[in-house]
């Protein structure tokens, strides 16, 4: 899938943070600390998504990519997976009008078309409805894994080469990047992970080659505008070299 391109710009806050990618972690621990079922943590996490989507444009963020459901999440108990899919369905249905009204363009990466047909139709409809919006691009990574994405890209190049449409000697970074789910988008400037964990968990492996990384101990359901502003301020202190010196 190729996402539509976003023109170059600098965040209005001066940080240069255009594309923020978030690994939303800590829903389960949040619920456990309150002796609640895990689904309660996921529901609270949806509220955090709402807060961050509302705050992002004010902080100069143009693209917000959220790791909503990984290809490894299918290994979780069936009941929890069903709860997550139900919450996704509810979020899209309940939020899409406000997202559209507020100028948010909604799109998806990952093998999301392998989800249940009724959910796929809902996601497709949301993409079409919001496709022309420009205030914020919200990308949800669904049934996504960075390694799977690279395998799918490599497979596409192999098929093109076998069919004689591509000379393998011409394959470059740019050509492979155009086969990724994020083709047409700038790479993330910052990858943020909540709940204090220090790993990428198979998220945007190629795209994050030169991204800054910030980890916060805040659990995702507690994440809010102030926490987001703090992460943006931390990013603004970084000197990005891109391997140049």
Average pLDDT, the chain: 93
Enumerate the known binding-site residues for Mg(2+): 25, 212
Residue 106 lies in a domain: yes
- Give the model confidence (pLDDT) of 23-59 as tens digits: 999 999 999 999 999 999 999 999 999 999 999 999 9
Total domains present in the chain? 1
Q: Range of 212's domain? A: 19-145+187-236
| Distances in whole angstroms, Cα of residue 177 to Cα of each of 6, 11, 245 | 16, 24, 24
pLDDT value at position 10? 41
Residue 73 annotated in active site: yes
Task: Give the pLDDT band (50/70/90) at residue 4.
Answer: very low
Residue 13 lies in a domain: no
pLDDT value at position 245? 64
pLDDT value at position 242? 77
Residue 225 lies in a domain: yes
pLDDT value at position 243? 73
Enumerate the known binding-site residues: 25-30, 38, 42, 70-72, 74, 76, 193, 199-201, 212
Name the percent of the chain lying above pLDDT 90. 91
Residue 160 lies in a domain: no
Q: Say if CB 142 and CB 112 are below 8 A apart.
A: yes
Enumerate the known binding-site residues for substrate: 26-30, 38, 42, 70-72, 74, 76, 193, 199-201
Task: Give the pLDDT band (50/70/90) at residue 240.
Answer: confident
Residue 214 lies in a domain: yes
Q: What is the pTM of this model?
A: 0.91
- Give the model confidence (pLDDT) of 159-217 as tens digits: 999 999 999 999 999 999 999 999 999 999 999 999 999 999 999 999 999 999 999 99
Residue 202 annotated in active site: no
Q: What is the CATH number of the domain that holds 60?
A: 3.40.1180.10
Residue 87 lies in a domain: yes
Higher pLDDT pick, 199 / 7: 199
- What values do phi and psi take at 138, rounded to 5? -105, 115
CA dist 234 and 230 (Å) reads: 6
Q: List all residues 6 or more positions away from 158 whose beta carbon is below 8 Å from its beta carbon.
A: none
Which one from 73, 102, 133, 202 is the annotated catalytic residue?
A: 73
pLDDT value at position 6? 39
Residue 96 lies in a domain: yes
Which one from 25, 83, 107, 189 is the annotated catalytic residue?
A: 25
- Give the model confidence (pLDDT) of 59-114 as tens digits: 999 999 999 999 999 999 999 999 999 999 999 999 999 999 999 999 999 999 99
């Amino acid at each position: 899938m190729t996402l539509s391109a976003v023109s170059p710009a600098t965040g209005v806050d001066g940080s240069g943070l255009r594309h923020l990618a978030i690994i939303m972690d800590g829903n389960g621990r949040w619920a456990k600390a309150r002796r609640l079922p895990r689904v309660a943590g996921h529901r609270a996490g949806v509220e955090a998504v709402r807060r961050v989507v509302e705050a992002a444009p004010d902080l100069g963020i143009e693209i917000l990519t959220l790791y909503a459901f990984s290809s490894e999440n299918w290994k979780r108990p069936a009941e929890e997976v069903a709860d997550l899919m139900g919450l996704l369905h509810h979020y899209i249905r309940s939020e899409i009008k406000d997202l559209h009204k507020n100028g948010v363009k909604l799109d998806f990466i990952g093998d999301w078309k392998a989800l249940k047909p009724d959910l796929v139709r809902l996601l497709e409809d949301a993409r079409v409805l919001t496709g022309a919006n420009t205030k914020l691009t919200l990308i949800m990574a669904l049934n996504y894994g960075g390694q799977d994405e690279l395998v799918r890209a490599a497979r596409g190049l192999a098929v093109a080469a076998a069919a004689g449409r591509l000379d393998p000697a011409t394959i470059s970074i740019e050509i492979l990047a155009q086969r990724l789910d994020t083709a047409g988008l700038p790479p993330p400037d910052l990858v943020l992970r909540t709940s204090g964990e220090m790993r990428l968990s198979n998220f945007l492996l190629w795209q994050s080659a030169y991204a800054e990384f910030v980890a916060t101990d805040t659990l995702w359901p507690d994440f809010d505008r102030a926490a987001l502003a703090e992460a943006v301020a931390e990013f603004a202190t970084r000197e990005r070299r891109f391997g140049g010196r």
